[in-house]
Chain A
């Protein structure tokens, strides 16, 4: 059973950089063949995809966040990380990490998020 656990500060000051980690257990970041993704949810709102990374370091980001975003992977710790700079109140949200499955069944690819962390609330406030 794959488990993901986010960790990081619950409170960030405006203009600071948010750093979150997602530790993976029950699967190998480098051996599983799928991507690792960050998703956030503003309070009482819907879900927003932030970006993902492959173990090789290949990334794809949401253009709305790309200029402030870095996602990296640490295979020695079996975890991946998010850094989001120049935080504002608009970045207050629950941040989730998840497995980003690119499943091929022989005839086509399917794309979905099948395992999620429990989420961590990040509040931006002075």
Chain B
């Protein structure tokens, strides 16, 4: 099983600041197979990024993804109030087919 380790567990920032979230797979993952989601309280996750760097439909360009192999990053260039949420990375691979990271909570400082 590929384990995804996200860091930090909690990130405290102010609106307007830049957020950098990390996702590190326990073994190399193809960039095509790495996605990011945002989840707000009481809501289902929302797809932000697929293929490590492609924004999903309707996602603002302040969200960007990068990385390869065992080191992936989600960057939010300038935080808006609605961006404070929990973020998960997800990979497609071996058994089980899909795994998620444990999440990074982005909170208002």
Contacts and interface: CB of A to CB of B under 8 A. Distances in A.
Interface residues of B, number: 26
Contacts of B11: none
A106 interface: no
A48 interface: yes
Contact of B51 (A46, A64, A110, A114): A110
Contact of A119 (B44, B88, B97, B100): B44
B32 A118 contact: no
Contacts of B25: none
B44 A118 contact: yes
Interface string B86-104: 0010101001111111110
A110 B97 contact: no
Interface string A89-113: 0000000101001010000111111
Interface residues of A, number: 25
A46 B103 contact: yes
Interface in B1-38: 30, 32-33, 35, 37
Contact of B44 (A60, A64, A96, A109): A96
Contacts of B98: 37, 49, 111
Given A46-B102, A48-B100, 12 more contacts: A37-B98, A46-B103, A47-B90, A47-B100, A49-B98, A49-B100, A110-B32, A110-B33, A112-B92, A114-B50, A116-B44, A116-B45
